[in-house]
């Protein structure tokens, strides 16, 4: 299952209405952060380290009022973190410095879209 399918499943499960007055006309803004255990730049993290990093990144995003944390998935090869907001650029601006300040996130991938889960997705290496 790809990231697009995973996000679509999560949004469907949340029953989030896309045409909402607080959402942009293009739909739901989403950000997915993927950190692989095998990427060459960063270091794999324990579940406790993941929670600490995620708390720090979430605080940074919420402090800038650009979005909110919406869930995570973890397996033996990667972690996926989901954030939602109303402005894709503001969400990216809040996420990138927070993620890049965490050594275990370096080399991960940030994917952002302002058109729900259908994309197009902008991908940025952390």
Boundaries of every domain in the chain: 3-14+25-125
pLDDT of 20 strictly over 50: no
- Specify the pLDDT at position 74: 87
Find the range with the poorest average confidence among 74-78, 87-91, 116-120.
116-120
Nearest to 107, CA basis, from 84, 124, 90: 124
For residue 18, what pLDDT is reported? Answer: 44
Across the chain, mean pLDDT equals: 79
* pLDDT, position 23: 38
Among 33, 87, 29, 73, smallest CA distance to 56 is for: 33
Residue 35 phi, psi (nearest 5) = -125, 120
As a 3-state breakdown, the chain gives helix, strand, coil percent values, each rounded to 5, of 35, 25, 35
- Tell me the pTM: 0.71
> Helices 47-63 and 88-100: crossing angle, nearest 10°?
140
Please give the class, per CATH, of domain 3-14+25-125: alpha beta
User: Which of 113, 120, 124 lies closest to 24 in space, CA to CA?
Assistant: 113
Task: Return the half-sphere exposure (C-beta side, CA atoms, 13 A cut-off) of residue 46.
Answer: 2
pLDDT at 90 over 70: yes
- CA–CA dist 110, 19 (Å, integer): 25
User: Cβ contacts of residue 4 below 8 Å, gap of 6+?
Assistant: 117, 118, 119, 121
pLDDT band at 66 (very low <50, low <70, confident <90, very high): confident
């Amino acid at each position: 299952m790809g990231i697009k399918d995973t996000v679509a499943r999560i949004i469907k499960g949340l029953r989030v209405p896309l045409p909402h007055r607080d959402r942009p006309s293009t739909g739901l803004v989403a950000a997915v952060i993927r950190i692989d255990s095998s990427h060459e730049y960063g270091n794999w993290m324990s579940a406790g380290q993941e929670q600490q990093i995620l708390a720090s990144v979430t605080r940074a995003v919420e402090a800038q009022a650009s979005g909110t944390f919406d869930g995570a998935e973890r397996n033996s090869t990667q972690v996926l973190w989901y954030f939602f907001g109303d402005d894709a650029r503001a969400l990216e601006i809040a996420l990138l410095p927070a993620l890049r300040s965490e050594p275990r996130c370096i080399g991960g991938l940030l994917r952002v879209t302002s058109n729900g889960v259908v994309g197009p997705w902008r991908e940025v290496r952390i």
